[in-house]
Amino acid sequence: MTRGAPRRILLVDADAFFVAVARLVDPEGAGRAERLIVGGAADGRGVVCSASYAVRRFGVRSGMPVRQAVRRCPDALCVPVPRAACAAKSREIAAVLARWAPVVQPSSIDEWYLDLGGTEALYAEPLAATAARIRDAVRAATGLGVSIGAGTSRLVAKVAVEVAKPGAGGSGVHAVAPGEEAEFLLRFDLPALPFVGPKLAARLARLGLRTVADARALSEEALGGLLGERTGRWLWRWVRGLDDAPVAPRAEAKSVSREETFAQDVHDDAALERELLRLAGRVGADLRGDGLRARTVTVKLRDADFVTRQAARTLPAPIEGDRAIAEVAGALLARLRRARRVPVRLVGIALSHFGEAAPPAQLALFDAAASGGAAADAAPAAVETERDRRLAHTLDAIRGRFGREAIGPAALLAPAASPPPRPGGPGRPGHAGRPPRAAGSEPGGRVPGSDDAG
């Protein structure tokens, strides 16, 4: 980008991402439902992760309890979040965007900022035209639609993408020309601006400031007198579209996690252990899919009274196999249950402190380790053996070809002592991004005996 040239920033937002992926995964079910809610079952206690535009007309929004959403739209089909498919599609979209922009910054699992600075000569066209071509490329490569906002800043691009969305009557792309930022923002209420959340919006409304025009009518000094110097200066710049925040690649994720919210609170230890085993397999697959191993395993419980507790163990060497993850997690679960034995609403596993994994060797079905021969792991005290790792990768390959349920631990075939769990919300599939925060939004606290342990 030449010195002094306006920045060329895009925000790419996947249209009704979770709904679209759910329809791709289940074309005969979700794919045929005009009114679709993604995030749980109608009789579950999960929250809405996303809803089709036909359902949104009934006032259904992300983060709303599924039962409340179904009361508003009784004939909507409710399906769980297709977590693995969402993570995979997010990566596919990101790969397309990386071919177009020198800098791509994920904002969440379904949003990305692009800085096209320096591409003026390469594309030799208006920014809106480039955005339209990117939109077409994503559709062709992934089968998913995206909306794109374009402008000279992240702020303007973020607001512009809301205008571009099909649900708002947009064409899929909305570009704000350099110099037109302030005029563009005048049409909006203050809560439409990023970082003007409910609390700040309520505070502004009490001061008579409800629209961008209201705030623009006041000087920086006047806003500082009402809101404090720092907030007043920020809002004065914000309502004029002045934002110099850079677009930068996000740092590598520091953990991967999986969690489930039960349809009914569970008190039975065996049922909790089975669900933890299931989660260990899923989070382990996420870890191995990114070519990583982890040293720290954390187990989280949210009790029926909404108290959230967790315990962790950091190992001397990194692990990646399902057996080792489940073994460490099971001990942590037992510790948490001894400290406080009450019905459980949610259980989860997180893995952190990553290291690169070595390429897996081929697994011999009848090797010496299987029969206790000389090739058995030389360090019997180790949490994980090389055979564990090879077996985990072999199972990943089988599931990748024949489906997740093709093979698994025999313990998961035992009859459940309570109804199966349902996703508690959008959560976070792997670590591909950050969808809505409903899964962790319930109030919580800590009790004695829940501290992390190394």
Which residues are designated catalytic? 111
Q: Are 353 and 318 in contact (CB under 8 A)?
A: yes
Instruction: Please determine, looking at this structure, whether the domain spanning 9-16+84-183 carries the CATH number 3.40.50.300.
Output: no
State residue 359's pLDDT score: 46
pLDDT 10s per residue in the chain (454 long)? 445 689 999 999 999 899 999 999 999 999 999 999 998 766 666 788 889 989 999 999 888 888 889 999 999 999 988 888 888 899 999 999 999 999 999 988 899 999 999 898 999 999 999 999 999 999 999 999 999 999 999 999 999 999 999 877 889 999 999 999 999 999 999 999 999 988 999 999 999 999 999 999 999 999 999 999 999 999 999 999 999 999 988 666 678 899 998 888 999 999 999 999 999 998 998 888 777 889 999 999 999 998 999 999 999 889 998 999 999 999 999 999 999 999 999 999 999 988 755 444 443 333 333 333 333 333 333 478 888 887 887 777 776 666 666 676 766 665 544 444 444 443 333 333 333 333 333 333 333 333 333 3
- Cα 120 from Cα 196, distance rounded (Å): 33
CA pair distance 444, 85, nearest whole angstrom:
30
pLDDT value of position 409: 72
Whole-angstrom Cα distance, residue 163 to residue 157?
10
Q: Which residues contact 132 (CB under 8 A, 6 or more apart)?
A: 148, 172, 173
Q: Distance (Å, rounded) from C-alpha 417 to C-alpha 113?
A: 46
Report if pTM > 0.85.
no
Distance, in Å, from the CA atom of 407 to the CA atom of 398, rounded to the nearest integer, reads 8
The neighbouring-strand residues paired with 211 are 189
For CA atoms 124, 127, 129, 135, give the dihedral sign: positive
Task: Report residue 373 CA to chain centroid gap.
Answer: 45
Cα dist. 385→31, 338, 376 in Å? 43, 29, 9
Q: Where are the beta strands (DSSP E) in 46-155?
A: 50-51, 77-79, 103-108, 111-115, 146-151
What is the topology classification, in CATH, of domain 194-238?
Answer: DNA polymerase; domain 1 (1.10.150)
Domain boundaries, the chain: 9-16+84-183, 27-81, 194-238, 255-440
Nearest CA among 104, 170, 179, 89 for reference residue 134:
104
- The DSSP symbol for 30 reads G
Please state which of the four CATH numbers 3.40.50.300, 3.20.20.70, 3.40.1170.60, 3.50.30.10 is assigned to the domain occupying 27-81.
3.40.1170.60
Element (H, E) at 325: helix 322-339
CB 37 within 8 A of CB 66: yes
Q: Does domain 255-440 have CATH number 3.30.1490.100?
A: yes
The token pair at 185 is: 């923002």
